[in-house]
Amino acid sequence: MSTPIRAAAQALADTLSAWRRHLHAHPELSGQEAETARYVAAELRRLGYQPREQIADTHGLIADLLPDSPSGAAAVALRADMDALPITEETGATYASRRPGVMHACGHDAHMAMLLGAAALLAERRAELRAPVRLIFQPSEEKSPGGAAPLVAAGVLNGVGEVYGLHIWSEMPVGTLGTRVGPFMSATSELRITITGRGGHAAMPQQCVDPIVVAAELVLALQTIVSRSIAMTDSAVVSITQVQGGSASNIIPEMVELRGTVRTLSEPVRAIVCARVHELATGVARNHGAAAEVAIREGYPAVVNDANAVSRALAAARAIGIGETDIVTMSPQGGGEDFAYYAQKVPAAFLFLGGRNETKGCCHPHHHPRFDIDEAALPIGAALLTQVALDWSVTGKTPR
Ligand SMILES: [Zn+2]
Ligand SMILES: [Zn+2]
């Protein structure tokens, strides 16, 4: 099914691919997106926008499209991320990265192209707009602490009523769209627990405090957090992934270090899990006369999708001809996303857009050296973002 917006996006297909391929061939790592930002800003200016660059002293930029006859409604924001990954590309594509060791292996090149596409389509429809549209190009998604938090702190959501983010997804066939209401992407926390005992001869344990025994007991005790401290309706993962200590079969070491990760779908659950990690580590160590030092580094919070924003996005998806069978209600994902910081501030929807096509060889996972997408997804994404913004401008609310 084709609709005017979808047809207009389809007519832009070559331009969308050209944008994506240029960005793909010239990837930049998190926090280093200077050239990318210059390119995006130049394209926005060509489309009639006046982008504001270097937001919060980052390579982030925003551009506003203001209606001719404003209704006083809040703006709708559309966000794309800009950074690439430290991977050497192995696709062999004509548009492959020209920078060894750097690759757009997560599809953020496609996100920028689709948002530029929406910028073009919306600029042509400015007469229909009643509410402002804010385009957010955000750096450094892949590297904690991320580029979203400083942009939000700098006020990019001031006057914004809702925010949408689209992520291309290689696990889903091109033409499909996936999302869910509520927690969608996980909050991540990294654990490092150092257990200090008293080392000595393995034949004389009575003179030692063995940190290996303490660590063994602690690894098992940590597994009671999810089963005994978290409600059946909540969920969490605690994984200890590294155990390091000892140097010989006849020496009790002085110290053992445990590392691991915690994934949760809400801040209250993250707080419970992290508090229990502290209590168990210090408690188990103390019981044996050892000491435990716990360091927890918080990654991104959980992405929590707003029900109304998801409804608006799905209505827009149907309006541009995405069929009911191509709309997928997803399970919460274990990965993290700094889109979470926008969603903490205003109602938000984060969506996965299918980019997989086995016949074109686009079947490798994100962050893989042969990751690629079916560019047929680009006009769909551009149309979807455009439709969401137009729908918001008809029904959008006044600023809160
Ligand atoms: Zn990624
Ligand atoms: Zn990504």
Ligand 2 centroid distance, CA of 110 (Å):
10
Ligand 1 centroid distance, CA of 24 (Å):
14
Ligand 2 centroid distance, CA of 111 (Å):
9
- Identify the CATH assignment for 187-298 out of 3.30.70.360, 2.60.40.1260, 3.40.50.300, 3.40.50.720: 3.30.70.360
Q: Kindly report, residue by residue over 95-150, the tens digit of the pLDDT.
A: 999 999 999 999 999 999 999 999 999 999 999 999 999 999 999 999 989 999 99
Report angle CA 383, 178, 371 to the nearest 5 degrees: 85
If we measure between CA atoms, which residue out of 303, 337, 299 comes closest to residue 181?
303
Position 87 scores a pLDDT of 97
Ligand 1 centroid distance, CA of 167 (Å):
9
What is the DSSP track for 130-169? Answer: SS-EEEEEE--SSSTT-SHHHHHHTTTTTTEEEEEEEEEE
Ligand 1 centroid distance, CA of 289 (Å):
43
Find the largest Cα–Cα distance for the chain: 85
| CB contact set of 380 (below 8 Å; sequence gap of 6+) | 6, 9, 174, 175, 320, 322, 353
C-beta separation of 165 from 113 below 8 A: no
pTM assigned to the model:
0.90
Position 400 scores a pLDDT of 41
Ligand 2 centroid distance, CA of 107 (Å):
6
Domain spans of the chain, in order of start: 4-186+302-395, 187-298
Query: What mean pLDDT is reported for the chain?
Result: 96
Ligand 2 centroid distance, CA of 34 (Å):
19
- Identify the CATH assignment for 4-186+302-395 out of 1.20.1070.10, 3.90.1200.10, 3.90.1150.10, 3.40.630.10: 3.40.630.10
Look up residue 11 and give its amino acid: A
Ligand 1 centroid distance, CA of 369 (Å):
12
Ligand 1 centroid distance, CA of 226 (Å):
27
Ligand in closest contact with the CA of 355:
2
Ligand 1 centroid distance, CA of 325 (Å):
27
Q: Which residues of the chain fall below pLDDT 70?
A: 1-2, 396-400
Ligand 1 centroid distance, CA of 74 (Å):
30
Ligand 1 centroid distance, CA of 366 (Å):
6
Q: Kindly report, residue by residue over 316-363, the tens digit of the pLDDT.
A: 999 999 999 999 999 999 889 999 999 999 999 999 999 999 999 999
Ligand 1 centroid distance, CA of 142 (Å):
6
Ligand 1 centroid distance, CA of 368 (Å):
10
Ligand in closest contact with the CA of 168:
2
Report angle CA 102, 134, 178 to the nearest 5 degrees: 65
Position 50 scores a pLDDT of 98
Residue 134 pairs with which residues in a beta bridge?
A: 64, 77
Position 399 scores a pLDDT of 46
